[in-house]
């Protein structure tokens, strides 16, 4: 356990800057097409077609399998040398037809570009038009949505790629307003099935009819007696079509799906509420209150109780075990910012936040980061365009001392080799069992995360024989 | 020995090489031929009681390959012990013919003729 | 009947040329699946890309070498945390990956400056590391960056470093295989012969085509040590960069993986007259045979016999215990290529298992000649198999266990078929005598796993109960 901080920092500061190096050692995020693929698999009867070399999709499938312990269907145009030179649109056309013929239930194919096909400059929109003609000739009765997703990997990251694909699928499928459906569109961002299940439950308890985009509940899928394979997203074409009829949109992640909320507002006048991502108690409070306000449905007793149970659990941990502990957090921007806010609620001190892509100008303007300035009583650094070496080298050079690391599995060796307790959170978390099933959002998520942190610290105290006796009685 | 008996015995030897050996499936026609010729020549020496020449590194390699094979032949095919030199020669010629046929002459492998590795 | 058009392939009839069902009295003079040919777009093939064949499979194994991937972030992210090849220096190779993190401006104006900067940064950040491999990727190849020139400049500026360059973007070739080739040939032409080894034994060899998966190399090394054979270059399991510059001084090349590394063995034979000995290091009787051949080459047969006797005494009873229980089980193998022919006969001879279907991602026709020569009748031999084909084949052959990667493993789990990781292993090493017992044990534990039986039970049907599986203490 760290020494008690007794000195008062007279002018605590939040410093926001990009990493100084140009190259990357140990990236935090994958490239744009990876994020686009993740969005695509969230839709029922949808197989993303990645237009590029085979590696751009094969490894991403492996990555998803590592995290979810499930197999997802993603296709490739298998770009080879001659297409790289002479253009690859033929391979898109062929890929679409092969998918359409061999997968009769298929309804959506996001066509996801990669850095190579963007450099070549393949005309995806034009190709989609010719594909549609060919499809109409072959399957006159069938409607297949082909969404153009431009995700050159020399821009943005898996985060922007996710957002881009969600937006493109909506632009392709959503229809004009008809009958108001009284529903909410909820864009939680790139989250685990555990969070989707939690949000669905909250809406049910509030009596609010809502659609989660993307509904990934089935990414945790069963072994069934009839051997059914049902690993796919549950967001349907109809759900997307109907989104313009919603009462309102709630975008819970500014960088992951937030743009689609804004687009629905601009195009179909569906009011968009961009919320702070509901990590921690206060953010969840704000979300529920806003939903209550928009829908007119009261917040039910059950959620008041759940909030109370969470607070009751957190109170056992915060000032005894968490206070003054320094934390480094890395991962997706909405997650990192939200977790920093959560940390402050439980008296943890998030001294270093790492966000991993080139969208620095956006992060600098993020009101949540600005607001942190007023909340911290210690110096905090936010590094964008960061890599994991930024964290590791600060630790190994002795510039940074942290008591806890929060992030995904790609940073596991920093924790292991520097003997720092680490809580896995975000994507991917392949080196811990079952995390995709657990919520991080909401009251329950905050409570389970805090308990995971506590148990991780406890286990560390025991292994390192550091005040392990304190738990002699608790 | 009748032709059929010879064929049966060559079948046995051929079956062994196909199942256990890799040297007749090297990368190009020319090195397949080199291996087949070399290993079977060394095997012939060993089976007919001649000292195999072990001058070049490649001699040693073919000897090593042949040695394992000959030991297994002797263990698996007791009839080999009774075979005279002439029969051994016939058997190995038959085996070579079969190996060249499958691995070179009638192979559908499109890479066998490439001039580079 | 022998070449097979599966039902799922009726719309892509060219697939018939890639799937063979071996019938009595047939051989490869009549039927040989076409292999190493372009993949049909949209088929959900299992293939990766050429870059991965170079970086992930071969170069990235080296334990003292920076892997600088010149391209956008994805290619680096994706070829990191996907392999299990430890080293005896703390797994430097698994802990890090490096990227030049190309951005749009580099695509437009060229990325050579960025590469140079990233290389210098990497050496500065890790001053104890002096070796590097630089790889191109799809976009940097398309824009034509001259990575060789940059490497030369960095070597001139930093006389103590050595850099090797690999130019095989993902789109070159049809699979990983092209990358193996480019790296092999580049290395032998540019790096072999640039350093002299210290010779410590009159028996010297290179061991080629083994990547220390779960310690394979380190296990086999104990044999070479006992035999008194000096391994000069181990291509590339647990190897140092400089070891592999000395390969020209070995007396013998022993090749395990002929597909990924046969090229360098061939070139070493052509250029330096070092003979090439192909062995199978998976399998009990094969391993003994390999040891015998190596020892016969050096004229140290007695040492070999002693080693084999010791190992057999120790491991054969265990192997036979498993054989007793695995006899008659049916296995499918869906891996890269060579393991098909390495394993089909060894599991049959050593464990009594029948291999009923095999699919190769990147094998060449040579690999199919080998596996069809060794494999059984009534077995399917598939080139570049895809997902729908797998379902259909499983239905036809009903395997008890499948050796494949984790993603496909997750898929077949839903069909109640256990998988064993045929790439990274479950609990290896799998090579050598001890290794094959490990493989047998993992197969036994997979096949005699009570969960599959429980999964088949529909609890609503009273008469359905899980079959009683008698597991015994191994
Ligand atoms: S960076 Fe480009 S080539 Fe690499 S995986 Fe991503 S899209 Fe593919
Ligand atoms: S053993 Fe298989 S996976 Fe490994 S390099 Fe050879 S072909 Fe590739």
DSSP C388-428: HHHHHHHHHH--SEEEE-HHHHHHHHTTT--EEETTT-SS-
* Helix (H) or strand (E) run with residue A187 in it: strand A184-187
Q: Which residues of chain A have pLDDT under 70?
A: 1-7
Cβ C102 under 6 angstroms from ligand 1: no
Is the Cβ of B65 closer than 8 Å to some Cβ of chain C? Answer: yes
Count of CB atoms within 10 A of residue C149's CB? Answer: 13
Cβ C74 under 6 angstroms from ligand 1: yes
* Helix (H) or strand (E) run with residue A373 in it: helix A367-375
CB distance C219 to C431 below 8 Å: yes
The interface predicted TM-score (ipTM) is: 0.97
Cα–Cα dist C69/A23, whole Å? 10
C293 closest CB neighbour out of B19, B31, B65 = B65
> What distance in Å separates residue C28's CA from the closest CA in chain B?
7
- What pLDDT score was predicted for residue C470? 79
> What distance in Å separates residue B93's CA from the closest CA in chain C?
19
Confidence of residue C450 (pLDDT cuts 50, 70, 90): very high
Cα–Cα dist C117/C111, whole Å? 10
Q: Given strand A75-76, what is the order of strands in its sheet?
A: A75-76, A49-51, A108-113, A145-149
Cα–Cα dist A45/A110, whole Å? 11
Q: For strand C380-383 and strand C19-21, is the pairing parallel, antiparallel, or unpaired?
A: antiparallel
CA of C224 to the centre of ligand 2 (A): 22
Tens of pLDDT, residue by residue over C119-137, are 999 999 999 999 999 999 9
CB pairs under 8 A between A and C: 253
Q: Where are the alpha helices (DSSP H) in A69-213?
A: 81-86, 89-102, 115-120, 124-138, 158-173, 193-206
Sign of CA dihedral C97, A57, A407, A190: positive
In this complex, do C99 and A24 lie within 8 Å of one another by their Cβ atoms?
yes
CB distance A445 to A439 below 8 Å: yes
SS3 (DSSP) at C460: coil
For residue C49, cis peptide bond before it (omega within 30 degrees of 0): no
Output DSSP code: residue B2: -
Residue partners of A157: CB distance under 8 A and separation at least 6: A29, A30, A31, A32, A35, A356, A357, A358, A359, C73
CB distance C21 to C380 below 8 Å: yes
- What pLDDT score was predicted for residue A37? 98
CA of C362 to the centre of ligand 2 (A): 9
* Span C216-220, average pLDDT: 98
Those of residues 23-62 in B touching chain C at CB distance below 8 A are: 23, 25-27, 31, 56-58, 60-61
Is the Cβ of A91 closer than 8 Å to some Cβ of chain C? Answer: yes
CB distance A62 to A99 below 8 Å: no
Is the Cβ of A101 closer than 8 Å to some Cβ of chain C? Answer: yes
pLDDT at B2 over 90: no
Output DSSP code: residue A218: G
Cα–Cα dist A254/A163, whole Å? 9
Q: Which of C263, C275, C288, C365 to mutate to test the interface with B (most CBs of B within 10 A)?
A: C275
The half-sphere exposure of A196 on its side-chain side, counting CA atoms within 13 A, is 23
- DSSP β-bridge partners for residue C357: C332, C380
> Rounded to 10 degrees, what is the CA torsion of B76, B77, B78, B79?
180
Tens of pLDDT, residue by residue over C415-442, are 999 999 999 999 999 999 999 999 999 9
- What pLDDT score was predicted for residue A1? 44
Tens of pLDDT, residue by residue over B41-75, are 999 999 999 999 999 999 999 999 999 999 999 99
Buried b (16+ CB within 10 A) or exposed e, C190-215: ebbeebebeeeeebbbbbbbbbbbbb
- What pLDDT score was predicted for residue C210? 97
Percent of chain C clearing pLDDT 90 (strictly above):
97
SS3 (DSSP) at A30: coil
Q: For strand A404-407 and strand A326-331, is the pairing parallel, antiparallel, or unpaired?
A: parallel
Residue C417 φ then ψ, to 5°? -110, 125
Confidence of residue C190 (pLDDT cuts 50, 70, 90): very high
SS3 (DSSP) at A359: coil
As a residue count, chain C comes to: 474
CB distance A131 to A93 below 8 Å: yes
Domain residue limits, chain B: 3-19+27-107
Nearest protein CA to atom 5 of ligand 2, as residue: C260
SS3 (DSSP) at A457: helix
CA dist A430 → A62, A64, A283, B102, C249 (Å): 11, 9, 27, 47, 43
Residue A440 tokens, joined: 């991080």
| Index of the ligand 1 atom closest to the CA of residue C170 | 3
C171 closest CB neighbour out of A29, A31, A116 = A116
**Do chain C and chain A touch with ≥3 beta carbon pairs under 8 Å?**
yes
Buried b (16+ CB within 10 A) or exposed e, A209-242: ebbbbbbbbbbbbebebeeebebbbbbbbebbbb
* Span C208-214, average pLDDT: 98
> What distance in Å separates residue B117's CA from the closest CA in chain C?
6
From C36, C105, C48, select the one nearest C75 (Cα to Cα).
C48
* Span C313-322, average pLDDT: 98
Sign of CA dihedral B47, B51, B54, B55: negative
Tens of pLDDT, residue by residue over C286-316, are 999 999 999 999 999 999 999 999 999 999 9
- What pLDDT score was predicted for residue A7? 63
Q: Chain C residue with minimal CA distance to A64?
A: C407
Q: Chain A residue with minimal CA distance to C126?
A: A393
* Span C187-195, average pLDDT: 98
Angle at A151 (CA atoms; ends A146, A156), nearest 5 degrees: 150
The ligand that comes nearest to the alpha carbon of residue A57 is: 1
Count of CB atoms within 10 A of residue B94's CB? Answer: 17
CA dist B111 → B103, B108, B117, C338 (Å): 12, 9, 9, 17
| Index of the ligand 2 atom closest to the CA of residue C362 | 7
Residue C210 tokens, joined: 């083994």
Is the Cβ of B19 closer than 8 Å to some Cβ of chain C? Answer: yes
Those of residues 111-130 in A touching chain C at CB distance below 8 A are: 114-116, 119-120
Angle at C245 (CA atoms; ends B27, B31), nearest 5 degrees: 15
* Helix (H) or strand (E) run with residue A407 in it: strand A404-407
CB distance A110 to A47 below 8 Å: no
* Helix (H) or strand (E) run with residue A68 in it: helix A55-68
Percent of chain C clearing pLDDT 70 (strictly above):
100
Cα-to-chain-centroid distance, residue A39: 10
Residue A362 tokens, joined: 């956006």
pLDDT at B85 over 80: yes
N-terminal to C-terminal alpha carbon distance within chain C? 43
B110 closest CB neighbour out of C29, C365, C373 = C365
């Amino acid at each position: 356990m760290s020494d008690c901080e007794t000195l008062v920092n007279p002018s605590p500061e939040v410093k926001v800057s990009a990493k100084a190096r140009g190259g990357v050692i140990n990236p935090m995020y994958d490239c744009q097409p990876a994020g686009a693929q993740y969005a695509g698999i969230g839709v029922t009867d949808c197989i993303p077609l990645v237009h590029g070399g085979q590696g751009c999709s094969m490894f991403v499938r492996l990555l998803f399998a590592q995290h979810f312990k499930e197999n997802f269907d993603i296709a490739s145009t298998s770009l080879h040398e001659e297409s790289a030179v002479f253009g690859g649109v033929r391979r898109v056309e062929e890929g679409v037809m092969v998918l359409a013929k061999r997968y009769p239930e298929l309804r959506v194919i996001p066509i996801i570009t990669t850095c190579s096909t963007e450099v070549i400059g393949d005309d995806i929109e034009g190709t989609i038009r010719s594909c549609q003609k060919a499809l109409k000739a072959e399957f006159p009765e069938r409607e297949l949505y082909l969404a153009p997703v431009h995700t050159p990997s020399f821009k943005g990251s898996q985060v922007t790629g996710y957002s881009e694909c969600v937006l493109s699928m909506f632009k392709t499928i959503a229809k004009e307003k008809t009958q108001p459906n009284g529903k909410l569109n909820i864009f939680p961002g790139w989250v685990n099935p555990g969070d989707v299940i939690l949000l669905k439950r909250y809406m049910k308890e509030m009596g609010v009819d809502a659609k989660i985009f993307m509904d990934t509940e089935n990414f945790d899928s069963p072994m069934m007696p009839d051997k059914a394979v049902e690993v796919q997203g549950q967001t349907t074409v109809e759900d997307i079509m109907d989104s313009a009829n919603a009462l309102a949109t709630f975008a819970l992640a500014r960088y992951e799906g937030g743009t689609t909320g804004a687009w629905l507002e601009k195009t179909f006048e569906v009011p968009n509420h961009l919320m702070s991502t509901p990590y921690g108690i206060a953010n969840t409070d704000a979300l529920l209150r806003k939903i209550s306000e928009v829908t007119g449905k009261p917040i039910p007793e059950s959620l008041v109780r759940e909030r109370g149970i969470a607070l009751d659990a957190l109170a056992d941990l915060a000032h005894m075990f968490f206070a003054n502990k320094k934390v480094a957090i890395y991962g997706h921007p909405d997650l990192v910012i939200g977790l920093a806010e959560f940390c402050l609620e439980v008296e943890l001190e998030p001294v270093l936040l790492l966000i991993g892509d080139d969208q620095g100008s956006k992060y600098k303007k993020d009101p949540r980061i600005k607001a942190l300035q007023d909340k911290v009583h210690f110096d905090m650094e936010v590094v964008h365009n960061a890599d994991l070496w930024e964290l590791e080298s600060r630790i190994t050079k002795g510039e940074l001392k942290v008591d806890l690391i929060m992030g995904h599995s790609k940073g596991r060796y920093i924790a292991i080799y520097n003997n720092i307790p680490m809580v896995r959170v975000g994507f991917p978390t392949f080196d811990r069992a079952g995390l995709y099933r657990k919520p991080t959002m909401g009251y329950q998520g905050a409570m389970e995360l805090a308990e995971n942190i506590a148990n991780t610290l406890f286990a560390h105290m025991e292994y390192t024989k550091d005040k392990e006796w304190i738990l002699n009685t608790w | 020995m009748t032709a059929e008996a010879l064929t049966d015995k060559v079948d046995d030897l051929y079956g062994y090489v196909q199942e256990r050996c890799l040297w007749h499936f090297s990368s190009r026609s020319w090195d397949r031929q080199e291996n087949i010729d070399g290993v079977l020549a060394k095997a012939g020496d060993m089976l007919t009681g001649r000292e195999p020449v072990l001058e070049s590194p490649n001699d040693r390699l073919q000897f090593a390959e042949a040695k394992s094979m000959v030991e297994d032949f002797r263990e698996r095919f007791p009839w080999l012990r009774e075979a005279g030199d002439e029969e051994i020669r016939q058997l190995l010629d038959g085996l070579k013919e079969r190996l060249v046929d499958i691995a070179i002459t009638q192979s559908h492998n499109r890479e066998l003729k490439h001039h580079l590795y | 009947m022998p070449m097979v058009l599966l039902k799922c392939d009726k719309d892509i009839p060219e697939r018939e040329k890639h799937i063979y069902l071996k019938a009595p009295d047939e051989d490869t003079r009549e039927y040989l699946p076409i292999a190493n040919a372009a993949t049909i777009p949209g088929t959900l093939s299992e293939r990766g890309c050429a870059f991965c064949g170079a970086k992930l499979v071969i170069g990235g194994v080296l334990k003292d070498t920076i892997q600088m991937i010149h391209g956008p972030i994805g290619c680096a992210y994706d070829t990191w945390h996907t392999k299990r090849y430890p080293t005896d220096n703390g797994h430097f190779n698994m802990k890090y990956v490096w990227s030049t993190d190309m951005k749009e401006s580099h695509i437009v104006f060229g990325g050579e400056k960025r590469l140079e900067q990233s290389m210098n940064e990497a050496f500065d950040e890790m001053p104890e590391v002096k070796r590097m491999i630089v790889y191109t990727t799809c976009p940097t190849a398309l824009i034509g960056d001259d990575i060789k020139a940059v490497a030369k400049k960095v070597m001139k500026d930093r006389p103590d470093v050595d850099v090797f360059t690999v130019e095989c973007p993902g789109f070159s070739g049809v699979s990983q295989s092209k990358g193996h080739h480019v790296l092999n040939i580049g290395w032998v032409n540019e790096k072999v012969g640039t350093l002299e080894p210290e010779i410590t034994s009159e028996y010297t060899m290179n061991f080629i085509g083994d990547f220390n998966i779960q310690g394979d190399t380190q296990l086999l090394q104990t044999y070479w040590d006992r035999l008194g054979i000096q391994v000069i270059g181990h291509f590339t399991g647990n190897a140092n960069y400089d070891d592999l510059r000395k390969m020209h001084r070995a007396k013998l090349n022993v090749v395990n993986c002929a597909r990924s590394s046969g090229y360098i063995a061939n070139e070493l034979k052509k250029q330096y007259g070092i003979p090439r000995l192909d062995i199978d290091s998976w399998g009990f009787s094969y391993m003994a045979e390999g040891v015998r051949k190596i020892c016969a080459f050096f004229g140290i047969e007695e040492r070999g016999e002693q080693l084999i006797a010791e190992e057999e005494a120790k491991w054969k009873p265990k192997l036979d215990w498993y054989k007793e229980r695995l006899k008659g089980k049916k296995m499918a193998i869906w891996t890269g290529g060579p393991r098909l022919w390495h394993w089909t006969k060894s599991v049959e001879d050593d464990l009594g298992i029948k291999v009923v279907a095999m699919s190769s991602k990147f094998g060449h026709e040579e690999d199919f000649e080998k596996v069809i020569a060794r494999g059984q009748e009534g077995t399917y031999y598939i080139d570049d198999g895809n997902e729908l084909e797998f379902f259909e084949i499983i239905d036809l052959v009903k395997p008890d266990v499948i050796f494949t990667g984790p993603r496909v493993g997750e898929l077949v789990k839903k069909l109640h078929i256990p998988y064993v990781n045929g790439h990274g292993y479950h609990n290896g090493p799998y090579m050598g005598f001890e290794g094959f017992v490990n493989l047998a044990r993992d197969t036994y534990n997979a096949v005699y796993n009570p969960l599959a039986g429980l999964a088949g039970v529909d609890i609503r049907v009273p008469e359905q109960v899980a079959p009683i599986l008698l597991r015994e203490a191994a």
